[in-house]
């Protein structure tokens, strides 16, 4: 039976990247209506692993989950009367707050060098993923996303700051990425999943060509026509040959999603204990 609007679990996830999308899939399976709110910084490049492109094509499927675009608060409100689902929207947090009180608010934007806002008191439970979060300052629960350390932060320290070191894919680190050297308009005709070769022109940033840094499969590339800030990733090459992955959720995304769901369950059990002490 469909829950009433007053009781349907309502999650807002800031970000439309592959981590936000993996979290949304897990939350939907846990009974939430999960709404992913777009933020342009940083650009989403692993778009075949994310629900991001639903903003432009109405729906996107990852594994067995289909996400659909919603354009206003009324559509979100109506969706809360239906079975759990994933929605993607251009609406920001300030647009979503009036829809109904938010049960779960997650910042999954992974903005490594920006000051993160204080999310506390904006929802029943607020969770910060990645750099810039502490339960003493801006969230109820912080989740570490750094490879090898993924999981809940159980004290009040800050999550690890970005160190500028790219995790390895195969045996290749930062060399598989191409970054924007300056702010500009990005244009590309190349599709994710294409086999590319070193020095192939993959696109142009305000008329300046960007070349493939190595041979491999195009795992990620920023969407054509965006305004890219300086210093962000625009291209990623997967060097692993037959083991290359550019669709679906990956191991890191699933691990972060699992840690996030664990945080919601831990919080729920603590609230139950507080209400019903032994």
Q: Is 235 helix (H, G, I), strand (E, B) or coil?
A: strand
Question: Hey, what are 54's tokens?
Answer: 């639903």
Domains held by the chain: number: 2
Tell whether 106 and 142 lie within a shared domain. Answer: yes
Residue 180 domain flag = yes
CB 166 within 8 A of CB 177: yes
Residue 68 domain flag = yes
* Distance of alpha carbon 139 from alpha carbon 122, whole angstroms: 10
What per-residue string of b and e applies to 76-98 under the rule 16 or more CB within 10 Å gives b? Answer: beebbeeebbbbbbebebeebee
pLDDT mean over 22-50: 96
Least reliable range by pLDDT among 131-135, 202-206, 273-277: 273-277
What digits encode the pLDDT tens for the residues 184-216? 999 999 999 999 999 999 999 999 999 999 999
Tell whether 13 and 149 lie within a shared domain. Answer: yes
CATH number reported for the structural domain that contains residue 194 in this entry: 2.40.50.100
pLDDT at position 64 over 60: yes
Model pLDDT, residue 105 = 97
Q: Provide the phi-psi class of 110: left if phi over 0, else alpha when psi is between -120 and 50, else beta.
A: left
Residue 2 domain flag = no
Which H/E stretch holds residue 186?
strand 184-187
Residue 90 domain flag = yes
Tell whether 126 and 156 lie within a shared domain. Answer: yes
Model pLDDT, residue 117 = 86
Residue 81 domain flag = yes
- At residue 274 the predicted structure's pLDDT band, cuts being 50, 70 and 90, is low
* Residue 150 burial class via C-beta count within 10 angstroms: exposed 0-12, middle 13-18, buried 19 and up: middle
190: number of Cβ within 10 Å: 16
* Distance of alpha carbon 224 from alpha carbon 218, whole angstroms: 15
* Distance of alpha carbon 222 from alpha carbon 236, whole angstroms: 9
Tell whether 29 and 105 lie within a shared domain. Answer: yes
Q: Is 275 helix (H, G, I), strand (E, B) or coil?
A: helix
Residue 167 domain flag = no
Tell whether 204 and 124 lie within a shared domain. Answer: no
pLDDT at position 6 over 60: no
Sign of the alpha-carbon torsion through 132, 134, 139, 140: positive
Residues for the chain: how many in total?
A: 278
Q: Is 239 helix (H, G, I), strand (E, B) or coil?
A: coil
- At residue 142 the predicted structure's pLDDT band, cuts being 50, 70 and 90, is very high
With pLDDT > 90 as the criterion, what percentage of the chain qualifies?
74
Tell whether 58 and 152 lie within a shared domain. Answer: yes
Parent domain of 188: 174-239
What digits encode the pLDDT tens for the residues 212-253? 999 999 999 999 999 999 999 999 999 998 899 999 999 999
The predicted model scores a pTM of 0.91
Tell whether 77 and 127 lie within a shared domain. Answer: yes
- At residue 16 the predicted structure's pLDDT band, cuts being 50, 70 and 90, is very high
Tell whether 225 and 181 lie within a shared domain. Answer: yes
Tell whether 225 and 266 lie within a shared domain. Answer: no
Residue 1 domain flag = no
Query: Cβ contacts of residue 221 below 8 Å, gap of 6+?
Result: 45, 47, 188, 190, 192, 202, 203, 234, 235, 236
Tell whether 14 and 93 lie within a shared domain. Answer: yes
Residue 169 domain flag = no
Tell whether 20 and 156 lie within a shared domain. Answer: yes
128: number of Cβ within 10 Å: 30
Tell whether 19 and 151 lie within a shared domain. Answer: yes
């Amino acid at each position: 039976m469909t829950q009433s609007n007053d009781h349907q679990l309502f999650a807002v996830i800031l970000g439309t990247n592959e981590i936000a999308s993996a979290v949304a899939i897990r939350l939907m399976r846990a009974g939430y209506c999960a709404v992913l709110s777009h933020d342009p910084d940083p650009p989403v490049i692993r778009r075949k692993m994310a629900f991001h492109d639903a903003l432009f094509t109405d729906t996107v499927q990852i594994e067995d989950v289909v996400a659909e675009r919603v354009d206003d608060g009324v559509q979100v409100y109506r969706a809360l009367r239906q079975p759990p689902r994933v929605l993607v929207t251009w609406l920001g947090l300030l647009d979503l707050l009036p829809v109904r009180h938010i049960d779960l608010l997650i910042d999954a934007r992974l903005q490594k060098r920006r000051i993160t806002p204080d999310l506390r008191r904006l929802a029943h439970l607020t969770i910060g993923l990645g750099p810039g979060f502490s339960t003493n300052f801006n969230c109820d629960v912080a989740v570490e996303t750094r490879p090898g350390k993924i999981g809940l932060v159980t004290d009040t320290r800050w999550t690890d700051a970005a160190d500028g070191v790219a995790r390895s894919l195969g045996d290749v680190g930062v060399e598989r990425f191409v970054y924007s050297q300056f702010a500009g308009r990005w244009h590309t005709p190349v599709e994710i999943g294409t086999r590319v070769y070193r020095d192939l022109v993959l696109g142009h940033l305000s008329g300046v060509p960007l070349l493939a840094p190595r041979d491999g499969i195009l795992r990620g590339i920023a969407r054509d026509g965006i305004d890219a800030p300086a210093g962000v990733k625009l291209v990623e090459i997967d060097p692993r040959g037959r083991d290359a992955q550019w669709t679906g959720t990956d191991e890191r995304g699933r691990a972060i999603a699992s840690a996030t769901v664990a945080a919601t369950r831990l919080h729920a059990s603590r609230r139950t204990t507080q209400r019903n002490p032994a």
